[in-house]
Amino acid sequence: MQVGALLDALARLAPFDRAAAWDPVGLQIGDVASEIGRVVVCHEVTDDVIDAADDFGAGTIVSYHPLLFRPLRQIVAGPGADGRAFRVASEGLNLLVLHTNVDATFGANELARAIGLEQVRPFGRIETADGYKVVTFVPSGDAATVSNAMASAGGGVIGAYTDCSFRVEGVGTFFAGDETDPAVGVRGQINEVPEVRLEMVVSAGRLASVLAALTAAHPYEEPAIDVYRTDGSVSFAGRVGSLPEPMPLDRFADKVGRVLDATHVRVAGSGLAQRVAVVPGSGGDLIGEAEGVDVIVTGDVSHHRAAAAVDRGVAVIDPGHVPTERPALVALYDAVYELVDECRLVPAREVWRS
């Protein structure tokens, strides 16, 4: 399998347009045309993970956390993200990253399931990257041809669905001048032609290729094309669900720490827990959106946010950033394992225990 094929398969599993706008998911280092070889799955790219990839003879690393979060001025040997990026590139490894798109599609569900929640629903909207809506008008008999060309160039992707479009029939009018060569209609007069308004969503990275494919496939000399910027896709980082029975907060905190293998669990508040919100990773900024819950389980909650939550009647259980992401990482490994011939999970204990 080539890297591009694995990337496409992972995009169907956890669509990249569901990631937060700030999150650099996708292929961070490597070549889409290269072979993936053996694959290592990890939580975060550390030197130990790269060592393990070398020992395993891996060609590709799939990481839950991005290695490169911010722009770098240089990529040179040494400590830190730039040094690890240098190692990954110089050793010919490919690095694929899935992060908040995993949280939004199945990671938060896995966390909710791990701690025993039922009747789970999404909460905590993620601000995803803006996209585009491309609209054109084509003769009725050419709509499928143009739509297929746009989809083949990467348009019409909504989550795990592809080839998505909207079409409505109408009548187009135009006057064809003497210098024109109309595909339909007659020069020198007003023409009325049955047309289809064809709409398709397009990500920013695919816009140029989709517009080129549309223009090449369109039968008109001068196709009418409208491009609208749209808000990002609907994506949610957290889940809200219920425990089968109410549970004292301290007992529930003990259960959370046990099932997530957390060495230290911070608790704020008191009372019973039944209606519970969860957010993998750092979910402190979503506490205010967790309406009608008794407790929220997430990592990296500051003292002031915890105090504000308790004032609102919401208790906080913070088992740490990494433990809340473990259920998603295990599910990611299982999914990659089903896609490739040889796959290894590298937990890197010192990272998992952080």
Cβ atoms < 10 Å from Cβ of 42: 25
What three-state secondary structure class fits 199? strand
Most confident listed range (151-160, 182-191, 291-300): 291-300
Q: Is residue 49 part of a domain?
A: yes
Q: What share of the chain is helix, strand, coil (3-state, %, to 5)?
A: 35, 30, 30
User: What integer pLDDT is reported at residue 341 of this predicted model?
Assistant: 82
Same domain, 256 and 315: yes
Query: Domain of 209?
Result: 131-230
Domain count within the chain: 3
Q: Give me the mean pLDDT over the 149-170 stretch.
A: 91
Q: Is residue 89 located within the same domain as residue 138? A: no
Same domain, residue pair 218 and 242? no
Averaged confidence pLDDT in the chain: 91
Looking at residue 299, its amino acid is G
8 A C-beta contact, residue 27 and residue 335 = no
Residue 201: Cβ-neighbour burial (10 angstroms; 0-12, 13-18, 19+): buried
Residue where a domain terminates, one of 189, 205, 230: 230
The pTM (predicted TM-score) of the whole model is: 0.80
Condensed to tens digits (0 to 9), the pLDDT of residues 21-72 reads 899 999 999 999 999 999 999 999 999 999 999 999 999 999 999 999 888 8
What tens digit of pLDDT does each residue of 262-287 get? 999 999 999 999 999 999 999 999 99
As a whole number of angstroms, the distance between CA 271 and CA 39 comes to: 46
Q: Does position 210 have pLDDT exceeding 60, yes or no?
A: yes
Q: Is residue 107 part of a domain?
A: no
143 in a domain, yes or no? yes
Q: Read off the CATH number of the domain in which 13 is found.
A: 3.40.1390.30
Q: What is the mean pLDDT of residues 211-221?
A: 95
CA dist., res. 244 & res. 119, Å (int): 10
* % of residues, the chain, pLDDT over 90: 74
pLDDT score, position 233: 67
Angstrom distance (rounded) from CA 153 to CA 63: 27
Assigned token pair, 90: 């110089």
Tens digits of per-residue pLDDT, 60-116? 999 999 999 888 888 888 888 999 999 999 999 999 999 999 999 999 999 999 999
Tell me, yes or no, whether 53 and 12 share the same domain: yes
Residue 7 pLDDT grade (very low, low, confident, very high; cuts 50, 70, 90): very high
Q: Burial of 62 by CB count in 10 Å (0-12 exposed, 13-18 middle, 19+ buried)?
A: buried
H helical segments located in 57-142: 80-90, 100-102, 108-114
Q: Tell whether 92 is covered by a domain.
A: yes
Query: CA-to-CA distance for 134 and 131, rounded, in angstroms?
Result: 10
